[in-house]
Amino acid sequence: MQFCRRFVLGIVFCFPAIVAIAADTKTSAPPLAEIVATPAKPSGVYAVGEKASWTLSLKGQAADVKEIKYTLKAGGFTVIKEGKLELTDGKATLEAPMDAPNTLLVELKATVGGKEIKTLVGAVAAPDKIGVSAPRPEDFDAFWNAKIEELAKIPANPKIEPGESDKPNVEYAKVTLDNINGTHVYGQLAKPKKAGKYPAMLIVQYAGVYGLPKNNVIRRADNGWLALNIMAHDLPLDHPEDFYKKQSAGPLKDYMSIGSDDRDKSYFLRMYLGCYRAVDYLASRDDWDGKTLIVNGTSQGGQQTIVTAGLHPRITAMLANVPAGCDVTANVAGRAFGFPYFGNQAKWKKNPKIVEVGRYFDAVNFAYHIKCPAMVSMGLIDETCPPAGVLAAANQMTGPKEILILPLSNHQGTNNAQAMFWSRSEAWMSALAKGKDAPVK
Asked whether residue 404 carries a pLDDT value surpassing 50, the answer given is yes
pTM: 0.92
Q: Is residue 10 part of a domain?
A: no
Instruction: Tell which of 77, 108, 129 closes a domain.
Output: 129
Confirm whether 7 is domain-assigned: no
Q: Nearest to residue 271, comparing CAs of 310, 316, 217, 232?
A: 232
Residue 419, SS3 per DSSP: helix
Residue 311 lies in a domain: yes
* Separation between Cα atoms, residue 90 and residue 428, nearest integer Å: 45
Task: Flag whether 1 is in a domain.
Answer: no
- Domains held by the chain: number: 2
Q: Percent of the chain at pLDDT above 90? A: 88
In a domain? residue 276: yes
Q: What is the CATH number of the domain that holds 281?
A: 3.40.50.1820
If asked whether residues 109 and 147 sit together in one domain, one would say no
Exposure of 153 by Cβ count < 10 A (0-12 exposed, 13-18 middle, 19+ buried)? exposed
Tens-place pLDDT, residues 407-429: 999 999 999 999 999 999 999 99
12 has a pLDDT exceeding 80: no
Domain residues for the domain of 48 are 16-129
Residue 405 amino acid letter: I
Based on the domain organization, do 406 and 318 belong to the same domain?
A: yes
Report how far Cα 207 is from the mean position of its chain's Cα atoms: 10
129, 156, 171 — which closes off a domain? 129
CATH at 25: 2.60.40.1930
Calculate mean pLDDT across residues 356-384.
98
Please tell me whether residues 63 and 145 are part of one structural domain.
no
Q: Do residues 60 and 196 share a domain?
A: no
Q: Which DSSP string do the residues of 287-323 spell out, in sequence order? A: TEEEEEEEEEEETHHHHHHHHHHHH-TT--EEEEES-
123 lies in the same domain as 147: no
Whether 161 and 77 map to the same domain: the answer is: no
38 lies in the same domain as 69: yes
Domain boundary, last residue among 129, 154, 185: 129
Does some domain include residue 2? no
Q: In terms of domains, do 219 and 123 share one?
A: no
- CA gyration radius for the chain? 23
Could you read off the pLDDT of 55-85 as tens digits, one per residue?
Answer: 999 988 766 888 999 999 999 999 999 999 9
Q: What is the pLDDT of residue 228?
A: 98
Angle between helices 267-284 and 140-152 (to 10 degrees): 60
Write the DSSP assignment of 97-150 as a string of letters.
Answer: E--SSEEEEEEEEEEETTEEEEEEEEEEESGGG---SSPPPTTHHHHHHHHHHH
Q: State whether 296 and 373 are in the same domain.
A: yes
Q: Is 124 in the same domain as 149?
A: no
> Does the residue 41 lie in any domain?
yes
Position 6 confidence tier, pLDDT thresholds 50, 70, 90: very low
Query: Can you give the pLDDT at residue 32?
Result: 74
State whether 44 and 146 are in the same domain.
Answer: no
Do residue 374 and residue 228 come from a single domain?
yes
Strand partners, 58: 35
Domain presence at residue 226: yes
Average of per-residue pLDDT across 338-363: 94
Residue 17 scores a pLDDT above 80: no
| Mean pLDDT, all residues of the chain | 92
* Predicted pLDDT at 25: 33
pLDDT-derived band at 31, boundaries 50, 70, 90 = low
